[in-house]
Amino acid sequence: EAQVTQNPRYLITVTGKKLTVTCSQNMNHEYMSWYRQDPGLGLRQIYYSMNVEVTDKGDVPEGYKVSRKEKRNFPLILESPSPNQTSLYFCASSPYGTGGETQYFGPGTRLLVL
């Protein structure tokens, strides 16, 4: 089944404890991206990648890191999480490097930083 998977789906952590949220797609898509969704602010793009080893900042990259060492994986790293990073996170992929076509979203990761 073609899909985007994220792990973990739910995470409670404490301020400053490094964490990684994994994202994997099995559709051989070139473009992958991370979003956070907050009430009243909608979905905001954190980082995106048009291909392996090519990443760029979205609208809200502060406090996050990403890497794209393999085409299928695009992990999101929070080196020192803070309470303002409590949010619902979505990973997404699309077929071509431009990202201007249909985005396929993962199921989301709910993060609570205490």
Partner 1 sequence: RKEVEQDPGPFNVPEGATVAFNCTYSNSASQSFFWYRQDCRKEPKLLMSVYSSGNEDGRFTAQLNRASQYISLLIRDSKLSDSATYLCVVTAFKAAGNKLTFGGGTRVLVKP
Q: Footprint of partner 1 on this chain (CB under 8 A)?
A: 31, 33, 35, 37, 40-45, 48-50, 54-56, 58-59, 88, 90, 97-103, 105-108
CB of 2 or CB of 14, closer to partner 1 = 2
Q: State the nearest-atom distance from the C-beta of 60 to partner 1, in Å.
A: 12
Q: What CA–CA distances, in Å, run from 37 to 17, 105, 108?
A: 21, 13, 10
> What are 53's two structure tokens?
């080893």
Burial code (b: 16+ CB inside 10 Å, e: under 16) for 31-40 equals bbbbbbeeee
CB of 13 or CB of 105, closer to partner 1 = 105
> What are 24's two structure tokens?
């994997």
Q: State the nearest-atom distance from the C-beta of 25 to partner 1, in Å.
A: 13
Q: State the nearest-atom distance from the C-beta of 30 to partner 1, in Å.
A: 9
Helix, strand or coil, per DSSP, at residue 67: coil
